[in-house]
Chains A and B, each alone.
Chain A
Amino acid sequence: MAKWGMVIDLDKCTACQACVVACQAENNVPISNPETAKAGRSIHWLEMIPFVDDEYPHVRMRLLPRPCMHCENPPCIKVCPVGATQISSEGIVGQINARCIGCRYCTTACPYTVKYFNWFKPEWPKGMERYLNPDVTVRYNGVVEKCTFCHHRLQKARDLAQYEHRELGPDDYIPACVQTCPAEAMYFGDLGNPKSTVSILSQSKRAFLLMEDLGTHPKVIYLSEGV
C-alpha cells in the first residue's frame, strides 16, 4: 500500500509561485478579486508563506510553499461531525464536498490553515469557464475545500496502468504543483517504499516538518536551505 508524500527542497525553491498557479488551474479553484482578497477569503490550496525573522540588517526571510500536509494524524477529521473529511488508506486527506455542512470546525482545527471555506458561489465570467478542468468537480458555496494531492490524477493513472496491464510506476502519478516546479525543488512519491526518492530525501539531515510537536505527522517534508 502506497503512502503518498511530498518533499520540498527549500534550497532549490525560488519562491516563483508556479506551484500556486498550477494548482489553481488544475483544481478549478474559484478566482479571487479585490473584495474577496481584502476579506481574507481568497482560496489557495497551495500558498507561499513568508516568515520574516530577526532585525535589520540581519533580517532573514523564509518562503515556504504550503500545500496540505496530508497528516497521518489529521486534526481536521476528528472534528468533522459528518465525516466529510477523511484520510484514505493511502494517506490522502480528502474532502467530500457533497457531505460537508459548512460548519468550518475543520478550518479552525487545522494548524496549517489549509482548509478553505467557500464564502461565495464560485463564478467565472462568460467564456472563462472554458478553461475549467473536466476531471475536477467545481465546489459550491457553503462547503470547505482543500488540497487533494490531485487525487483525480491518481485515479486516472491507475486506470491507465490497469488498462495497459502493468503496475503503477513511480512517475505515473504526480500532482500539478510538482509537475510544473521550475527549480525541480518538489518531489512526490511513495513514502512507504524505502527506495523511493521521497523516502531517501526524507532521511536527509536537512529534513524538517512543520509544527512537528503537535503530533500531526505531516507527509509533506521540507529540506532546509544551506549546507
Chain B
Amino acid sequence: MKKDILRRDFIKILSGTTTFGLAYRYGLFPHLISGPVRDALALENDDISLRPPEEKWETSICQQCQGGCGILVRVYGDRAVKIDGNPLHPINRGRLCARGQSGLQYLYDPDRIKGPMAREGARGEGKWKPISWDQALAELGDKLKTLRNQGKSHALAMLTGPQRGLAKNVSDRFMEAYGSPNLIRNQSDRPSGKTPAFHLMQGSDAGITYDIEDTNYILSFNSGLLEDHWSSVQLSRAYGKFRRGNKDERGKLVHIEPRLSVTGAKADQWVPINPGTEGVLAMGIASVIIIERRYDEEFIDERTLGFEDWTDEKGASHPGFKTLVIQEYPLEKVAKVTGVPRDMIMSLAREFVHHQPGVAIGNDGEWIGNQGIYNRMAIHALNGLVGNIQKKGGILSNARLPEIPLPPFSPDPVSAKGRSMPRIDGAGRSRYSLVQDAPENLAEQILKKQPYPIEILLIHGANPVYESPEPDRLVSALNQIPTVVSFSSSMDETTRYADIILPDSIYLEKWQLDTSYTLKGNPLVSVAKPVVAPTYDTRDTSEILIALAGVMGKPVSSAFPSAKSEDLVKASLHPLHASASGEAFGAQLEELWTKLLEQSGWKVRSQEPFDKFLADVQERGGWWDPVYYPWEWERALSTPSGKFEFYSLTARKYFSDLKGMDKDLALQKIPSPVGMDKLDAACLPLADPGVSKENDTLYNLELNPYVIPILSGLNQTNQPWLQDISGFHVYQEWHTWVEVNPETADKIGIQNGDWVWVESPKGKIKAQTRLFKGAMPDVINLPVGLGHASGGRWTTGIGENVLKILLAEKEPFSGKVHFQRSRARLTKTNA
C-alpha cells in the first residue's frame, strides 16, 4: 500500500511540474504550489530559491484572551502558518480554542496600524500622517520631560487593559520612575483575580478557582461556564473529565439562565429564570438547605462567621445569614420573583447537597452578565453552606505567585512628590477604598478637572470608548486632555481620538513573561520569545516606554537596566530560579513524580545553574509549581476573622470608615429588611433582582444581553474566521440578531428574518429577528460584541453596539459599571 501511495504522489508531482513550474517561476499564485510539488521543483531545478524554507515549531503564549494558554507556532521560513497548543503547558496541554487558532488573522490583519502616526486635522476626524519612530519618541519624550520638570509629573495618566508579568512590571515601573500615581488598569473580575465578592467572603486576594475536573455537580447560575470562562481551553479540558473522567460518577450540570445558551444546551437540566434574579434563587436554595438542616454543620461551626446571629467584641448583636434567609427569602416569594417553581427549587437544593462535592458558580464577566456583588455573594454562600471550601472538587484558593520583579531601583524626590498626590480615579480612598483601580470614574474626574487636570494620557490595551455606557461623555473628557497617546495595534474607537499612535507589536512578535493559574490553583509563569519578526513597523509597548524613559534621560531612564524586553524577561527570572521551588513545564508523568517526591518529604530542589534553568523554561514554555496544599487555611480564608464570612467584616469596616455623603451614597441603594440595621444588611448577601419586572405598556418586553462567546476577551475583532461563526446557533452571522420566542413574535406580529428596531428607554438599534425556542416568552436576547465604529474591514459597521441601549449601573464597593438588562419593545422596519 505504501508503494501505491508513493507512486500516486510521484505521478501527481510529475503532472504538476510543467504547468506549475513556469507559473511559479514568474511568481504567479505561489501559494497554489503545495509542499510536495514545491519540493519536487526544487529537486528538479536544483534552484536554491525553490528549496523549501526551514520549518520549526516555536513556543509562545496566546494573548487572544487572558486565559494564558501556551502555544506552538509553526514557522515556515519567515511566516507563521499555524498555531496549536503547547502539549507541555499545564493550562491547555496541547489544546487550543477557536480564538487561539485565529491568532494568525490577528497577526496578519491587513488593517493593522502599520507604523507610528500623528494626527492631522481635528480630533476624531481620522486624518493621520505617518511619522518616524525617532521623531515620535523625541516629541513625546520632550513633552513628558517638560511636564515633569514643571513639577506636574502626577498630571500624566496611563489607562491599560488587564496586564500581567512583564507588561505589568514595565508599566508600573515607568509610572513609578516618572512620578505619577495614575496608572489605571482595567482589572478583570475573573476568579483568578481580586474579585470583590470572594474578597468580602474569603479574603483570598490571589483569587479562587473551581475544581471542575473533580467535582460531581455544577450548579451554574448564568455563569457562561462553557462560553466565557478563562481559560476556556482549560475549562473545556476539565469539563471533559467532569463528564467522562475516571470517576465513578458522571458529573451532573444544572444551568440556570433566561436563555438556552450553549451551556444550557449542554447541561443535564436547563432552568429558565427571570433575568437578573439568579441571586434571589440562590437564597431560595439556601433557605431549603437551612430549613431541612442539610448544611455542613462541622464546617459552619469551625470555619464560618455570621451563619447564626452573633455578638461582636463590644457586645453588640448582629443578624446572621440564617435570619436573613428565613426572613427575606421565603420560597413563595423566591418562586414568584424568579419564575422558578417551588418544587424545582427544593429539588435543586436537595440534589446540590446530595451530590457533594459540587460547586455553585456565578458570573464574573467583565461588563455584561456580571451579577453584581450581592448576587455573587448569595451564590457563593451556597458553597459555604455545603462546606466545599478547599476540598477536592470544590472551591480552591490560588497558591501565591512567585515574585518575578524587575531589578530594584530608587526613585528620586520628584517621583516621590508626584506619587504622593491623590489618584485621579479615586481608587484606594473613601468609597473606592477596596479597589486598586476605578477606570469608570475617569471621564467624570477629567471633565471636572478633579483633583487636578490631566495633561498627558497614555492608553494601552483598553478601548473605553466602545465599552463605555456614555461614550460621548468619555470623548469630551478625552478632548480636555492636551496630549492623548494610543499604543493600539488597530484603529479602535478610542484610538481615533488620539494625537499620536505608537502601534504595539502583537504577541507573536515580542518577548513575553506572563502569569496565570491552573483550575487546581497552581501558579505558573510562562515565557516566550518572538516567533516572527514584526510584520509592520511596530514595536513592543514595553520597549516603547523604556525608550521614552531614555529620551527623558536620568533619573527616569535609570529605572530600567536595559532597553530590551529580552534582557528584562531574563533578569526577572533570576529570583524565580533562586527560589528553587517548582519546575519547568513537563509531561504529566513528570508532574506526578514531583508530587510524589514532595509529598513524601523529598522536596525537589532545583540546583541547576541559571543558564540551564533559562534554557529549559524557554524551551518548554514556562515554569510552574505542580504541588498544591489544600490545608493552607490562612491563605484560603484571609478575612479579618480568618473564617468564611457569611457576614463580611471587610464590608462592615468599609462602610464604617465612610463619612457623611459618601456613606449615604454607598448605602443609598441597599434595601433595608424589616427590623434589620441597614449597615448589618449591607454586610450580608442581600440578593436583589434590581429593576423589577413591572407592567410597562410602552416597553412590553424584557431585554437580556449576552456576550458572543467566540468574540469574548479579544483585543480586536477584525478576524473573519470568528465573525463568520458568531451566531451559529441561530444561523446568523455578520449582523446583530435578536432572539425572540415564537409565541412572543406571533403576538407582536413579526416573523423569522424580519428587521426590527429594538428600542429601550435609552435608545434603539436595528436587528434581524431570529425565532428561537430557547428564548423565554416576553424576554428578548441580544448579543453583545459587534457594532464597532472602526477597527478594520471585518468589524467596522458589522452589526450594532448593543451597549448603546443598555442601562448601566455603578456597583457599590468597586464602582465598576455593569450593564443591566432593560425593558424594551420591538417594531418592524425595513432592512
Contact = CB atoms under 8 A, between A and B. Distances in A.
Contact of A55 (B92, B239, B773): B773
Contacts of A15: 226, 262, 265-266
A32 B726 CA distance: 12
Given A14-B262, A59-B774, A132-B81, A25 B95 contact: no
A185 interface: yes
A62 B774 CA distance: 12
A14 B239 contact: yes
Contacts of A31: 720-721, 724
B239 A21 contact: no
Interface string A171-192: 0000010011111110000000
Contact of A34 (B100, B272, B734): B734
Given A14-B236, A38-B734, A134 B76 contact: yes
B724 A162 contact: no
B151 interface: no
Interface in A124-174: 125-138, 140, 152, 155, 158, 162
Interface string B228-266: 000011011101100110000010000000001010111
B32 interface: yes
Nearest to B732: A37
A185 B266 CA distance: 13
A63 B240 contact: no
Interface string A27-54: 0100111100110001010011010101
Contacts of B84: 22, 179-180
Given A131-B81, A180-B84, A63 B260 contact: no
Nearest to A35: B734
Interface stretch (B104-112, B174-182, B667-675, B677-685): B104-112
A138 to B, nearest CB: 5
Contacts of A134: 31, 34-35, 38, 52, 76, 81
Most buried by B among A37, A132, A182: A182
B725 A16 contact: no
Contacts of B720: 31-33
Contacts of B560: none
Contacts of A181: 95
A20 interface: yes
A180 B71 CA distance: 11
A21 B721 contact: yes
A61 interface: yes
Contacts of B32: 137-138, 140
B826 interface: no
Nearest to B251: A11
Contact of B265 (A62, A155, A185): A62
Interface range for A: 35 or more
A50 B729 CA distance: 5
B9 interface: yes
A209 to B, nearest CB: 20
B266 A225 contact: yes
A52 B101 contact: no
Contact of A131 (B35, B79, B260): B79
Contacts of B776: 56-57
A156 B710 CA distance: 32
Given A16-B226, A25-B83, A182 B728 contact: no
A61 B260 contact: yes
Given A24-B721, A50-B728, A126 B96 contact: no
Contact of B110 (A38, A52, A125, A136): A125
Interface residues of B, number: 82
B110 A128 contact: yes
B773 A138 contact: no
Contacts of B731: 50
A52 B108 contact: no
B97 interface: yes
B353 to A, nearest CB: 21
Contact of B35 (A1, A60, A135): A135
Contacts of A57: 272, 776
B269 to A, nearest CB: 11
Interface string B710-747: 10000000001111110011110111000001010000
B163 interface: no
B233 to A, nearest CB: 4
A73 interface: no
Interface in B5-46: 5, 9, 29, 31-36, 38
Contact of A180 (B96, B235, B240): B96
Contacts of B9: 155
Interface string A1-26: 10000000101111111101110111
Contacts of A214: none
Given A12-B243, A15-B265, A21-B721, 15 more contacts: A15-B226, A21-B102, A34-B798, A52-B773, A56-B741, A59-B774, A89-B4, A90-B1, A130-B535, A132-B81, A180-B85, A180-B95, A181-B95, A182-B95, A182-B233
